[in-house]
Amino acid sequence: MNSAKYIEIFKNGQKEGIRDVTVKRKLQTVRKFLSYLEDAQTDDLQNIDRKNVYEFVNSLDYRSQTISGVQFTLRQFFNIMYEQRLSSFDGYQLFPMITTDKRDSILSYYSPEEIKILVESIDTAKKCGIRDKCMILIAAECGLRSSDIIWLRFDEINWDKKLISKTQHKTGIHVNVPFTEQVQFLLLDYLKNHRPDVRSEYIFINTVTNSAFTSAKILTQIVYKNFEKAGIERRCRKRGAHTLRHSLATTMLANNTPVPVITGVLGHASSRTTQKYLSIDVDGLRKVSLEVPE
């Protein structure tokens, strides 16, 4: 990769009057990013997608305010590279909005590869292994909240269409969420071979009480425990069940999925809610020409 060329173009693109220390800090960030790409055997900016940039940002063990500064620099860098036709996307497509409020936390995101490691590391030989793996996979692939998984009912599963059709506990909004063959296989395996033989309208059973769960928080505990066992580097990220929902939405966005489609998967009342959820504002979306329904 011709890092020197990219750095020189970026340096020449800085406005007059910017303090030298600010330019120096920006260049340091860009060098670190380009070095990251080189380590990943990337030889040209045209060969990367937004997911590569997100993974770089998530690899940084920085405070949230410092991360925001990195995002601003990378946004400017890719705006300049896009203008020079050296990148397939610009900075506003990459970071439509950047959170700067000290009270806000950076989105906890785990890559699809990390999610795969998490799921595959679950010990299914243990008493609750299949149940836990099934719930975690539903959270990761379907994006349902903990309460909608913990209290998933038999009548909410459409086996023929591979569809979860239910009214969400938190919002009261009805959703139809497709599930994969892997989820179907795990569900059937759990129901046939591992679920306690108790009468309950709910699919997942607490093996201690042989009854339905009384709190949705148990899923966060299960996810956290399995993240620890999987040995996935934390890097200041949260490890609860909601991070799986966050990660699915972020991956969909990185794969250019329209926000209204993500809204449908997450079961939000409107795309505005989804924008806030993904730290995206309406102005930022307008800059990348995405249609946002009112």
Per-residue pLDDT of the chain (294 residues), as tens digits, is: 789 999 999 999 998 888 888 899 999 999 999 998 988 888 889 999 898 999 888 888 777 778 889 999 999 999 999 999 999 999 999 988 887 654 444 457 899 999 999 999 999 999 999 999 999 999 999 999 999 999 999 999 999 999 999 999 988 889 999 999 999 999 999 999 999 999 999 999 999 899 999 988 889 889 999 999 999 888 777 888 888 998 898 888 878 888 888 888 888 888 877 876 676 433 433 443 333 333
Q: Are residues 120 and 214 in the same domain?
A: yes
Domain co-membership, 119 together with 234: yes
The answer on 180 and 60 residing in a single domain is: no
Range of the domain at 37: 3-94
Of the candidates 37, 62, 94, which is a domain's last residue? 94
Q: Give yes or no: residues 129 and 211 share one domain.
A: yes
Is 271 inside any structural domain?
no
Pairwise CA distance, residues 180 & 20, whole Å? 53
Last residue of a domain, one of 243, 264, 281: 243
CATH code for the domain in which residue 31 is found: 1.10.150
Domain presence at residue 267: no
Q: How far is CA 38 from the centre of its chain?
A: 24
Domain co-membership, 190 together with 85: no
Of 60, 94, 128, the last residue of a domain is 94
Amino acid present at 192: K
Q: Is residue 293 part of a domain?
A: no
Q: Is the pTM of this model over 0.95?
A: no
Please tell me whether residues 23 and 88 are part of one structural domain. Answer: yes
Dist. CA 33–CA 99, nearest whole Å:
20
Name the domain count of the chain: 2
CA distance 64 to 46: 28
In a domain, 259, yes or no: no
| Residue 103 domain-assigned (yes or no) | no
Query: Is residue 76 included in any domain, yes or no?
Result: yes
Residues 87 and 151 in one domain: no
- Say yes or no: 87 and 119 in one domain: no
User: Quick one: 43 and 156 in the same domain?
Assistant: no
